[in-house]
Amino acid sequence: MTKPNLALLSTHDHAAEKLGYVMEAKGLGKTYKTFEALKDISFQIRKGEFVCLVGPSGCGKSTLLQLLSGLSETTTGDVIVGGERMFGPRPDSVSVIFQDATLLPWKTALQNVEFPLEVKAVPKAERRARAEHYLKMVGLADFRDRLPHELSGGMRQRVSIARGLAQEPKLLLMDEPYGALDEQTRTKMGDDLLRIWEETKLTILLITHSLSEALYLSDIIYAMAARPGRILERVDVDLPRPRNIDVMGSPEFGALRNRLWHLLTDQRQAS
């Protein structure tokens, strides 16, 4: 069987670019033999938006992230990033931060942040400057020479975030990066992420189980259903920015959380 010419297939989507979409999912589906994991998922993310995906365990959030990052092939549909259809990972355009920090244990914090830049043959002086800059941004400038086992769980995840930021992607994908942290550390990390997002104007898609976290951080929330995984509803988060922890006590926050809670609960009972 003749293999397709990927250079020809990777056509430019001028419509997506004109509309200001950093990323667009068009009719995405994923099937494993007879199991349909995801079905007909379509949504867009504009430049500078902070978007969250929420849904019950097993609804395919992490599978969807793998499709959006190019780490897994779609069964149907297209992923478009920066106006280009994706065929495989695009580390120049999309960085991924996973649930585990996935740091190289023999490299220091600084070296871990530098490593992807070294792989891409970024000159030594530039990669060192970028690594130092983003470690400072996540509050770890004084820990640059520490090995991963010398850092707390929250610190390791911040190194992972600095590594993703240092690649200066068009889109940062985050798969529940704070899921293993205690509530206080998680809240502090959320505040840090908001500050970084406001400073960098980065485009972020975050997966989370926490409705409160999604509302606190994002502009837009996509609620997902399971069996098969699909988009239930888009919820626009019309809460003022900049945000702090006090917003969680507001009537508007409570109303949005109740709306999401009932949406996901009703769908689970229906299935």
- pLDDT tens-digit series, residues 32-74: 988 999 999 999 999 999 999 999 888 999 999 999 999 999 9
Cβ atoms 172, 204 nearer than 8 A: yes
The pLDDT, as a whole number, for residue 270 is 65
Residue 17 in this model has a pLDDT that exceeds 70: no
The pLDDT, as a whole number, for residue 8 is 36
Tokens of 37: 């994991």
The pLDDT, as a whole number, for residue 11 is 54
Higher pLDDT, 231 or 1: 231
Contacts with 173 (C-beta within 8 Å, 6 or more apart), sequence order: 65, 68, 69, 94, 95, 96, 97, 205
Cβ atoms 108, 146 nearer than 8 A: yes
The pLDDT, as a whole number, for residue 9 is 45
Q: Angle between the 124-137 and 153-166 helix axes, to the nearest 10 degrees?
A: 130
CATH for 19-93+169-270 is 3.40.50.300
Instruction: Report the candidate in 28, 71, 75, 6 with the shortest Cα–Cα distance to residue 229.
Output: 28
Alpha helical stretches, state H, 120-250: 124-137, 153-166, 183-200, 211-217
- Report the chain's mean pLDDT, rounded to a whole number: 90
Residue 19 in this model has a pLDDT that exceeds 70: no
The pLDDT, as a whole number, for residue 7 is 40
Residue 1 in this model has a pLDDT that exceeds 50: no
Partners of residue 36 on adjacent β-strands: 31
Global pTM? Answer: 0.89
Cβ atoms 159, 110 nearer than 8 A: no
Query: Residue 171 — pLDDT band, cuts 50, 70, 90?
Result: very high
Residue 183 in this model has a pLDDT that exceeds 60: yes
Domain positions in the chain:
19-93+169-270, 105-167
